[in-house]
Chains A and B, each alone.
Chain A
Amino acid sequence: MSLSLFLVQLVNGVEYGLLLFLVASGLTLVFGVLGVLNFAHGSFYMLGAYLAWWVSARSGSLLLGIAIGLPAMVLIGLLVERLAIARLYSRDHLSQVLLTYGLVLLFNELQSVLFGNDVHGVDTPEALSWAVRLGEQTWPAWRAFTSLACICIAVAMRQIVLGTRFGMRVRAGASNPEMVEALGIDVRRLFATLFSAGTALAGLAGMLAAPLTTVYPGMGESVLILSFVVVVIGGIGSIKGAFFGALLVGLADTFGKVLLPGFASAMVYAVMAAVLLWRPRGLLGAAAEGR
């Protein structure tokens, strides 16, 4: 492998990992704080991509699609939380699995009725359709933009979680939800905010990925499973863990495809099994399992 090819794989792996982080960070918080195992999280990724495609195909601007899509995703998150998820906080994980599985089927049908079952390409914005040169290889500017956006969001998330009162409640919720409630904090509002933030992040990941992967039915599913892998590798409820887990999975997947083409897809799962056999609660998971 030449140096430039190695470099391109490296930046591609990091970029893929950062996108996975956007999806997985919401998933890990919703599970860690709300205690809900949300299988519909991948559907939000898919919905985000379809919204971006739909708006950009009509207006010619992907950035407008993102500008309209993001608030729409926040709204969808609030609605789903209020109408469905909020009814299940006191029930066991399996009821939640069943409900969110039902939601996945529902969103898939919704997508097929509203947007059809064709595969759609999405154009990158004019200003970002050039490429960075890396030796004899090139790297699309949209990927660079995506990585940069994800890094900004990760840094902002860190500031919010570590530096604000809201973030303090989130951290408290992740380590002991019952105690947070007992201290008189409005848990319902905290939960709704977190859930819709997670929804918006997953949607945003879908919008950013749309020009790279095209938009197609079932696109949320593989991302969902990989995000679960990321969450578990990192340790449930840990944003930092999700960040490193996502980079690990992104790099393992990208390099696996180049170095071990026949074994690439199994690679990610082998990494996960190895991590869990070594540390049964993930890299940065809490010492005691509360749930």
Chain B
Amino acid sequence: MRRQALLLAAAAALAAVAFSGDRFWLQFLGKAMIGCILAIGLDLLVGFTGMVSLAHSAFFGLAAYALALLTNRLGLVNPLVTLPACIAFAAAAALVIGWLSLRATGVYFIMVTLAFTQMLYYLFNDSPALGGSDGLYVQARPVDSRVAAYVVIWLALIAVYLVLSRVLRAPYGRVLEGIRGNEQRMRSLGYPTRRYKLVAFVIAGATAGVAGYLDATLYGFVNPAQLGWRQSGLILVTVLLGGKGTLYGPAFGALLLAFIEHYGEKVTEHWNALIAALVIAVVLFLPRGLAGLLQGRPRG
């Protein structure tokens, strides 16, 4: 109950910011909400299916690059065309990379996804035709006004959250949680677990694509660093910090990190030490992440 009230309050507060029209807050919270979408999407894999992927940033970056290339090369701007196209591109990439990576399990799975992420990073970083290490500008943004872009991001965050919670409540989501608990058992019950995991991987890749599309729309710019493993690592840390397996926890984790980064920078140039202290404190004292604060005493 308390949780739902908090979620509604947060959503309403974020919506209210749109009416302020303040340049800084629109940009800052827009970016933070994109971080929320990324974290929620990865939580589907890490928290609910037990798959740790370091390829999340790859799909984010691919959708952003897809928008830049569609706009600059083909002159396509209309979001009704570009949004589905970019998401489909990210999902298709997730299908291929997921199909190959799922041959491996456990830590080996993490490392194969890392390998594909780094290959894509260097592909964009080292080829001048794709902008090289400088990246690409999006010459015409699909959503031009700052307020409209903010509203679109807000809507996307709500939509991704609702869709993922619906998916997780459906029988399909129950199977995913069964796989997290004991994949062997699910397989002997007759579920083709690899196919279930692949579908989850593609859904997560598509949500990362949504985030990438929005980021390129908000900033009008994309660079290879957004694709690299460091970005993926940061999203993973956000999920764990917020509390995996809850959807809302990772979203709050992303908001909190954005605020610490912004205000920490003003207080001290060593603000990373603040994040380090927070991360270490959460691991030692809040095993279920920040979401554990809302859940009361641990069961059992």
**Chain A: residues with CB nearer than 8 A to chain B?**
31, 37, 84, 87-88, 91, 93-95, 97-99, 101-103, 105-106, 108-109, 112-113, 221, 225, 228-229, 232, 236, 262-263, 265-266, 269-270, 272-273, 276-277, 280-282, 285, 289, 291
Contact = CB atoms under 8 A, between A and B. Distances in A.
B127 A291 contact: no
Interface string B250-286: 0000000000000000000010110111111011100
Contact of B118 (A37, A266, A276, A289): A266
A94 B46 contact: yes
Nearest to B100: A277
Contacts of A272: 111-112, 115
B296 to A, nearest CB: 20
Contact of A266 (B112, B123, B233, B244): B123
A106 B276 contact: yes
Contacts of A291: 106-107
A122 to B, nearest CB: 25
B111 A276 contact: yes
Contacts of A221: 230
A93 B114 CA distance: 17
Nearest to A112: B270
Contacts, number: 120
A262 B233 contact: no
Given A106-B276, A108-B272, A228 B111 contact: yes
A88 B280 CA distance: 11
A291 B105 CA distance: 10
A98 B237 contact: yes
A253 to B, nearest CB: 12
Contacts of B123: 266
B119 interface: yes
Contacts of B236: 97
Given A98-B282, A102-B279, A229-B111, A265 B122 contact: yes
B122 A269 contact: yes
B287 to A, nearest CB: 7
Given A236-B107, A272-B111, A105 B272 contact: yes
Which secondary structure characterizes the binding site on chain A? Answer: helix
Contacts of B280: 84, 99, 102-103, 106
A185 to B, nearest CB: 25
B108 A97 contact: no
B270 A95 contact: no
> What 5 A-B pairs have minimum CB-CB distances, sorted nearest first?
A102-B279, A105-B276, A266-B122, A102-B280, A106-B276
21 contacts: A94-B244, A95-B287, A106-B276, A108-B272, A109-B273, A225-B114, A228-B114, A232-B111, A265-B126, A266-B122, A266-B126, A269-B115, A269-B119, A270-B115, A272-B111, A272-B112, A273-B116, A276-B104, A280-B103, A285-B108, A291-B107
Contacts of B176: none
Nearest to A232: B111
Contacts of B115: 229, 269-270, 272-273, 276
Contacts of B100: 273, 277
Contacts of A94: 46, 52, 240, 244
Interface in B22-46: 46
A103 B276 contact: yes
B289 to A, nearest CB: 9
Contacts of B290: none
A274 B280 CA distance: 36
Given A94-B52, A98-B240, A270 B119 contact: yes
Contacts of B52: 93-94
A196 to B, nearest CB: 20
Contacts of B283: 88, 95, 98-99, 102
Interface string B212-249: 00000000000000000110010011001100100000
Contacts of A101: 233, 237, 279
A95 B288 CA distance: 9
B108 A105 contact: no
A272 B107 CA distance: 14
A156 B233 CA distance: 35
A277 B108 CA distance: 10
Interface string B39-81: 0000000100000100000000000000000000000000000
A99 B118 contact: no
